């Protein structure tokens, strides 16, 4: 199994411990996506994005992302369509999130989880397999449907009258580059 491991500066030492200790696990190939030092400070969304995208592209089977609390990394990684990121502060959550929810990005917090517990959490995550039971497939399918609806183009919402707070007026969009939406249309909060 190929595993990406990434961190920001606040998760660097735990990432290094996981890299070193998990390297001895049979059948694991670890891919270090950075950061490469505890200083200077770096932005966790950049590394969470790299880890989640590696999973979604199929470059790796799963990923572990470490930041200070695990929260920011989880929020950022879960924005990548197809990533199912979760925080685990215990071993039960680590394996249950894979078995029932098909979780593929484990987020940990160096400042809130001791190193030995973090290692056991990571091992639980990596050893777990999705049960593939009908009820779990159905629930993961519903998660995918929510994700698809969340990425629904603003233009389509406007046509349905469900985006009353949005406008497609280019003049209303002060950050045009970030407002370009589906088919080159612009969208911004009114």
Structure tokens at 22: 């998990």
Is 100 part of the annotated catalytic residue set? yes
- For 55, counting Cβ atoms within 10 Å of its Cβ (0-12 exposed, 13-18 middle, 19+ buried), the class is buried
Give all domains of the chain, ordered by start, each with its CATH number.
2-127 (3.40.1400.10), 153-190 (no CATH)
- The SS3 call for residue 66 is strand
Q: Is 67 a catalytic residue?
A: yes
Which residue is catalytic, options 67, 74, 107, 173? 67
Is 8 a residue whose pLDDT tops 80?
yes
- pLDDT for res 163: 52
Cβ burial 61-96 (10 Å sphere, 16+ → b, else e): ebbbbbbbbbebbbbbbbebeebbbbbbeebebbbb
Alpha helices in 23-133 (DSSP H): 44-57, 71-77, 91-99, 115-127
Question: pTM of this prediction?
Answer: 0.80
Sheet holding 85-87, edge to edge: 29-32, 2-7, 62-67, 105-109, 85-87
Q: What is the pLDDT of residues 13-72, one digit of tens each?
A: 999 999 999 999 999 999 999 999 999 999 999 999 999 999 999 999 999 999 999 999
Q: Which residue is it, tokens 């790796």?
A: 60
């Amino acid at each position: 199994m190929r595993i990406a491991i990434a961190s920001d500066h606040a998760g660097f030492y735990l990432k290094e411990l996981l890299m070193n200790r998990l390297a001895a696990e049979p059948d694991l190939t670890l891919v270090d996506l950075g950061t490469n030092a505890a200083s200077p400070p770096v932005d966790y969304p950049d590394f969470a994005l790299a880890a989640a995208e590696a999973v979604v592209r199929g470059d790796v089977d799963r990923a572990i992302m470490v930041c200070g609390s695990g929260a920011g990394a989880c929020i950022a990684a879960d924005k990548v369509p197809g990533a199912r990121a979760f925080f685990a502060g215990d071993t039960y959550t680590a394996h249950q999130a894979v078995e029932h929810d098909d979780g593929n990005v484990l987020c940990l917090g160096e400042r809130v989880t001791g190193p030995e517990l973090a290692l056991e959490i990571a091992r639980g995550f990596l050893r777990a397999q999705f049960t593939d039971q009908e009820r779990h497939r159905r629930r993961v399918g519903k998660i995918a449907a929510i994700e698809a609806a969340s990425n629904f183009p603003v233009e389509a919402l406007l046509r349905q009258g469900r985006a009353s707070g949005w406008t497609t007026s280019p003049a209303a969009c002060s950050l045009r580059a970030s407002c370009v939406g589906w088919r080159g249309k612009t969208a911004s909060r009114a």
